[in-house]
Structure 1
Amino acid sequence: MPMHVVVSCDGQIMSVGPTLQRVCGALTLVGRQFLEVFEVTRPERASTMRALLKLADRKIVLRFRARPSRQLRGHLVCLARGEGALVNLSFGINAVDAARDHGLNHSDFAPTDLTVEMLYLTEVKSAVMDELKSLNHRLQSARRAAEAQAMTDALTGLANRRAFDAALDRAVASAARGAPFSLFHLDLDRFKQVNDTLGHAAGDRVLAEVARVLRAQIRQSDMVARIGGDEFMAIVTGAGDLESLRRISHRIIAGIERPIDYDGTLCRISCSIGVAWSVAYDSPTARTMTEGADAALYQSKNGGRGRATIHRHDATDAAP
């Protein structure tokens, strides 16, 4: 009984269990009066040794008068020939908290003590919860990775058409609340020639380089997507005027027109750009913005390629 107390007939503590003494720390129990150390609260208060002995064979509830002021439960048995009493104590339902606060483990309790079962169940619960938390973390990571993969173009690492459509819907909703944006539609010029003469590996190298240029020229907070083949689209928020759109377009074209080395062969391409500006529409929608950018791109292609056209709903603004 590592939580026992032996009390003499005059109320003096004769011996204590090692776990109980460990809980009390520097407080020495042996030699002190039991009722000076402990306050019996149930089933009735006991202020004398005689009153305490009347509680024999009954469940008692008591607590330390000083620190640690923890509530205990116990069972008192009278010893033979007036030798006092044996009190066996337990933390009861507070066992887990007590074990944590005082650094106790299974070895500090009797094997038959229900505290051992409670500690075991607590450890099992903790282990299960940790494993569930770890599993949940892995599932969330896998879900995020799957979602990112489903929204990413495998070749270029840019967003794909699915991600772009969702971003465009969000941009249109923001525009309705007063946050303008511009929609860029890019189509590569002379890309088919690279594929036909040097093969698809060279084409893939060119597409990857185009993606790098677009990431460099479009802010990280904006959206750049490959929507298929050699077509790309970008959503640029907050472009305040036509001159800003022209500068962005010219930088993109200049970057894409730089020769791209593929196994010692220089691949030379360009791009045509069509831009739709949300400010030009009374109530821009995903459809009207897309149609506007497509119309502007068509005009850039017909105008000689390697150029940008800004669609302004009522007119177009070509920027060779």
Structure 2
Amino acid sequence: MNGALPADMTTMAVRELGRLMPMFLWIAPTGQICAAGPTLSKVCGAGLLSGARFFDVFDLTKPSPAATMADLARLTGQRLQVRLRHGARTALRGQIVPLAGQDGLLVNLSFGIAVAEAVRDHRLTDADFATTDLTVELLYLTEAKAAVMEELAALNHRLDTARNAAEARALTDALTGLANRRALAAALARAVDAASRGRRGFALLHLDLDLFKAVNDTLGHAAGDFVLTRVAAVLRAETRKQDTVARVGGDEFVLILPGQVDPAQIDAVARRIIEGLETPLVFEGRPCRISGSIGATASCLYPVPEADRMLNDADTALYASKRRGRGRATIYAPDLRLPEDRRAPEQPGPGAGGSGAG
């Protein structure tokens, strides 16, 4: 505390005033800061306030600029807005009361609505506020509200995650993790709509496993499940992220390949899938070999593509592959005729024949 105290402003009185108004300033007629409340000293830094002039520490922004003590005195009773010139430049609000006997001015400051930021920036606690100040209660309410909002946000996130997981399960085949019939229907509807609007065309492939029944009959359903998961892995490896791969039956799969309408491209994908399926597998020390037959069609073959018609045509091409001896791919054409059935009965054995395209 600097400057001579008036007779009615003892050191004890200043200390007690600081308890009631922890952000007060006593400004001498010369503009020198004679005393300050403990919280304001903490915010500004006691060394900064010691012996300083008011206008060296604070900028007066409202209601009007002031450069002299006379200017400041004329603002008595009005709401002030000031800002620290240094450091965090915290914004403050206050009011001026003139002291009797030409002893200067008493200014009581507060943080206003920026109290939460001030508490954070200056590491204030409830001890830095007067016991009658509602600021502490407001801060507790603010913290409680923030905690409630955080918990609500976390709850909403958990609900969104659970809903998304439930939707994913509803669209996913439980064994293979591929899309199921429901997901396929939605994806096919989108693909047909896009192609009908003149956007990107697509290929539709229907895959049926060959010799899968023999695996189930000789090695059991556990081996069958093992094979199906490996089939799913092959299909993922040979398709792109934007493709749809769905399991639609026990050993039947349907693929949607957006942007693939060239017969050579479709045939190349089908050949790679069949080659991958014919890689020998071993289940619990016993070999199990399968292959696959594929029927395919493309949206560009139709004036207006229709989901049911394309599925039927892909199915027709699939049966053509089956009748030609399995392990083959056939691309549908309007003049496609089913050949004579050359399939041999499925027997447990070393596996399927070589792949080929019809």
Please report the TM-score for the alignment, with normalisation by the length of structure 2: 0.77
Q: Matches of 2:38 and 2:271 in 1, distance apart?
A: 83
1:294-320 CA distances to partner (integer Å, 9 max, x unpaired)? 111122223322222111234469924
- Tell whether 2:212 aligns with 1:191: yes
User: Structure 1 regions of 5+ residues with no counterpart?
Assistant: none
Cα RMSD between the aligned structures? 3.1
Question: Measured at CA, do residues 65 and 23 of structure 1 come closer, stay the same or move farther in structure 2, by a change above 3 Å?
Answer: closer
SS in 2 for 1:232: strand
Offset of residue 34 of structure 1: 4.6
Q: Are the equivalent residues in 2 in contact too, given 1:281–1:313 (CA < 8 A)?
A: no
- Tell whether 2:173 aligns with 1:139: no
- Tell whether 2:280 aligns with 1:259: yes
Q: Matches of 2:23 and 2:42 in 1, distance apart?
A: 10
- Tell whether 2:80 aligns with 1:61: yes
Q: Are the equivalent residues in 2 in contact too, given 1:277–1:312 (CA < 8 A)?
A: no
Q: Matches of 1:64 and 1:200 in 2, distance apart?
A: 78
Moved more, 112-121 or 289-298: 112-121
Q: Number of paired residues?
A: 317
Question: Measured at CA, do residues 153 and 140 of structure 1 come closer, stay the same or move farther in structure 2, by a change above 3 Å?
Answer: same
Structure 1 equivalent of residue 16 of structure 2: none
Q: Are the equivalent residues in 2 in contact too, given 1:46–1:52 (CA < 8 A)?
A: no
Offset of residue 54 of structure 1: 9.3
SS in 2 for 1:305: coil
Structure 2 equivalent of residue 281 of structure 1: 302
Q: Are the equivalent residues in 1 in contact too, given 2:61–2:83 (CA < 8 A)?
A: no
Question: Measured at CA, do residues 112 and 299 of structure 1 come closer, stay the same or move farther in structure 2, by a change above 3 Å?
Answer: same
1:9-37 CA distances to partner (integer Å, 9 max, x unpaired)? 66543211122123324773343455775
- Tell whether 2:99 aligns with 1:89: no
2:251 to 202, 226, 230: 230
Structure 2 equivalent of residue 246 of structure 1: 267
Q: Are the equivalent residues in 1 in contact too, given 2:274–2:292 (CA < 8 A)?
A: yes
Q: Matches of 1:235 and 1:51 in 2, distance apart?
A: 79
Question: Matched residues, percent identical?
Answer: 51
Q: Matches of 1:192 and 1:65 in 2, distance apart?
A: 83
Please report the TM-score for the alignment, with normalisation by the length of structure 1: 0.85
Which aligned pairs between 1:1-320 and structure 2 lie closer than 5 A?
1-8=21-28, 12-25=32-45, 28-34=48-54, 39=60, 41=62, 48=69, 52=73, 55=76, 58=77, 60-64=79-83, 66-67=85-86, 68=89, 70-74=91-95, 76=97, 78=99, 86-176=106-196, 177-315=198-336, 319-320=357-358
AA of the residue aligned to 2:82: R
Offset of residue 239 of structure 1: 2.2
1:138-184 CA distances to partner (integer Å, 9 max, x unpaired)? 22222222222221111111111111111111211222223121101
Moved more, 131-140 or 177-186: 131-140
